[in-house]
Amino acid sequence: RNTGERHSYDVVVVGAGGAGLRAAIAAHDAGARTAIVCKSLLGKAHTVMAEGGIAAAMGNAWPEDNWKVHFRDTMRGGKMLNHWRMAQLHAQEAPDRVLELEEWGALFDRTQDGLISQRDFGGHRYARLAHVGDRTGLEMIRTLQQRAVALGIDVFMECTITEILKDGDRVAGAFGYWRESGRLITFEAPSVVLATGGIGKSFKVTSNSWEYTGDGHALAVRAGASLINMEFVQFHPTGMVWPPSVRGILVTESVRGDGGVLKNSEGRRFMFDYIPDFFKAETADSIEEADRWYTDKKNNRRPPELLPRDEVARAINSEVKAGRGTPHGGIYLDIASRRDPEYIMRRLPSMYHQFKELADVDITREPMEIGPTCHYVMGGVEVDPDTAASIVPGLYAAGEVAGGMHGSNRLGGNSLSDLLVFGRRAGLNAAYYAARTQDAPVTVDDDAVLVAADAALAPFSEEGGENPYTVQKDLQEVMHNLVGIIRTADELEQALGEIEKLAERSRHLTVEGNRQYNPGWHLAIDLQNMLWVSECIAKAALTRTESRGGHTRDDYPMTDQDWGTKNIVLRRRNDSVELAIQPLPQMPAELKALFEEK
């Protein structure tokens, strides 16, 4: 049987965001024959969408800043569940990675003295985000991509990997298909680096685009690797929920900063009902004071609409669950009745144009329907901090698909630096490992390729099965309603039952048409990954009986010290996953001491 074309490399990098590109450059520089494979066009990855900047303690704005402060901020942000060694390496190496990016041509904004400018961001003690206006991710990708192409690294774009191939316990390569032609493709390689990004598409409302179906997470777990911290998912409070053409797209916090308010279906500014004790002293408790704040920030307290993201997201969720939501399950974000059109167009030009063009919503005339949107997953492949190696020999992971670095909650700006620091480490170590396998080379077994091919093509041989879009929609509803921002044991148990039924339905999918550019077929394959990931999230969320970072349990609303010493780890067991509780790695005394300083 013809199983398509074959290619042989030392290192195959799956994903071409910041982590994948940086890994490929490192592997190439270490002498490995390297390929990059990506599901969409080269240059189209989530990394492009990151605006804020790259967190790195360079000390340009504040000489007091250094890696130790950055390390401490990151650990505190992650509620101490981060792998201390990852947080340490990240803080120590981020400044070098930024300087290196500059050497390769990135044009950062500058201070008056000509140094790289650094901006403030939530959770960071000092201004430390190196940035390029509000398009830092784009500049990062442009720079890395140009370098990768200049180095002559082979790129396979619009090519989706569906399985990791093994030779015994070791990685032997990867299998996939070309999206355009539907032809199959096999890569033989002793090292594979996963850099596939996030999982947002398992949820109904998400800021993630179509590619983010948790492929790398699922590939890893199916290949025998472990996943960690999967219960921690970050939700941004204001994503559009309606109309469908913009569902999930982020509405910047500045809309609220410039006067936009949140209202329920009764027209009430409900955020006044959700001011936690912790923030009472600094939050306005009347509409009059909140409104005065916009023009006189010194003598008035901030409006409750500007509470931290997780507080706002939880409040919106409670209103919707109490039946006071909009017709499409959101809340109104209203700036139209509060500011005149000229002001809105001057202050929020890209928001105005984005919604006018994509959805014909005129934000100067009508309120937006918004709600929490699934934005980022802290959980991912459990890796060795120094080498980015998973427990499967030859399998590496970096970027959003890797777990441990951010603990239970990621600080803004720490993602872009994470990609550079651990992308490089993954690429280097994948190359070293590949060199070491030369004495005992791996081989791809033809039967394994046939099994992967059969699995990929299965939806074409099923007749009278379900449409993959229906199953995906049902899964997204389950994850949104039962595994979303606020969780309870009852709902999580119900979700696991539903996921099992959906998995059964997904074994009988039928796709229309042929193999050439067939999105229905692509989704049928992606759906399997979404189901693996959803099961991992729901199982871990049910087990962690506390609230911490990106995991809130209505039935366990407090943070529990005991859980603060434990990780939840998931591994494959036949067609399902099993879960183990693992102690956190012990932080050395000299790092612990940093938390005692002021």
Q: Which residues have a catalytic role annotated?
A: 236, 256
Closest CA to 550 of 84, 54, 49, 82: 82
Q: Does the footprint of ligand FAD cover residue 207 (CB under 6 A)?
A: yes
Whether 286 and 302 have beta carbons less than 8 Å apart is answered as no
Q: Which of 11, 13, 19, 240 binds ligand FAD (CB under 6 A)?
A: 19
User: Site mask, ligand FAD, residues 444-483, x = CB under 6 A?
Assistant: ----------------------------------------
- Nearer Cβ to ligand FAD (215/546): 215
The piece of 3-11, 13-21, 239-247, 461-469 that touches ligand FAD (CB under 6 A) is 13-21
- Alpha-carbon gap, residue 529 to 510, rounded angstroms: 17
Residue with the closest Cβ to ligand FAD?
17
Q: Does the footprint of ligand FAD cover residue 40 (CB under 6 A)?
A: yes
Which amino acid, one-letter code, is at 494? Answer: Q
Q: Does the footprint of ligand FAD cover residue 20 (CB under 6 A)?
A: yes
Q: Does the footprint of ligand FAD cover residue 390 (CB under 6 A)?
A: no
Shortest gap between Cβ of 418 and ligand FAD (angstroms)? 8
H or E segment at 290?
helix 287-293
Q: How many CA atoms lie within 13 A of 1 on its CB side?
A: 11
β-pairing, 154-157 vs 34-38, is parallel
Q: Which of 395, 419, 453, 568 binds ligand FAD (CB under 6 A)?
A: 419
Q: Which of 67, 270, 376, 532 binds ligand FAD (CB under 6 A)?
A: 376
Site size for ligand FAD (CB under 6 A): 38
Q: Does the footprint of ligand FAD cover residue 173 (CB under 6 A)?
A: no
Closest CA to 55 of 128, 132, 119, 108: 128
Q: Does the footprint of ligand FAD cover residue 161 (CB under 6 A)?
A: yes
- Alpha-carbon gap, residue 54 to 118, rounded angstroms: 9
Q: Does the footprint of ligand FAD cover residue 237 (CB under 6 A)?
A: no
Q: Which of 9, 12, 18, 406 binds ligand FAD (CB under 6 A)?
A: 18
Q: Does the footprint of ligand FAD cover residue 160 (CB under 6 A)?
A: yes
**What secondary structure does DSSP assign to 217-228, as a single string?**
HHHHHHTT--EE
The piece of 321-329, 342-350, 393-401, 588-596 that touches ligand FAD (CB under 6 A) is 393-401
Q: Does the footprint of ligand FAD cover residue 250 (CB under 6 A)?
A: yes
- Alpha-carbon gap, residue 90 to 71, rounded angstroms: 8
Tokens standing for residue 419: 């990609």
Q: Does the footprint of ligand FAD cover residue 52 (CB under 6 A)?
A: yes
Q: Does the footprint of ligand FAD cover residue 379 (CB under 6 A)?
A: no
Count of CB atoms situated within 10 Å of the CB of 438: 9
Q: Does the footprint of ligand FAD cover residue 403 (CB under 6 A)?
A: no
Which residue has 């993954």 as its token pair?
A: 426
Reduced to 3 states (helix: H, G, I; strand: E, B; else coil), residue 158 is coil
Q: Does the footprint of ligand FAD cover residue 16 (CB under 6 A)?
A: yes
Shortest gap between Cβ of 527 and ligand FAD (angstroms)? 13
Q: Does the footprint of ligand FAD cover residue 46 (CB under 6 A)?
A: yes
Q: Does the footprint of ligand FAD cover residue 197 (CB under 6 A)?
A: yes
Closest CA to 423 of 25, 1, 153, 66: 25
Count of CB atoms situated within 10 Å of the CB of 318: 16
What value does the CA radius of gyration of the chain take, rounded to a whole number of Å? 24
H or E segment at 370?
strand 368-377
Tell me whether residue 17 is exposed, middle or buried, using C-beta atoms within 10 angstroms of its C-beta: 0 to 12, 13 to 18, 19 or more: buried
Shortest gap between Cβ of 218 and ligand FAD (angstroms)? 9
Strand partners, 578: 571
* Binding stretches for ligand FAD (CB under 6 A): 14-20, 37-40, 45-47, 49-52, 137, 160-161, 195-197, 207-208, 211, 215, 250, 376, 399-401, 412-413, 415-416, 419
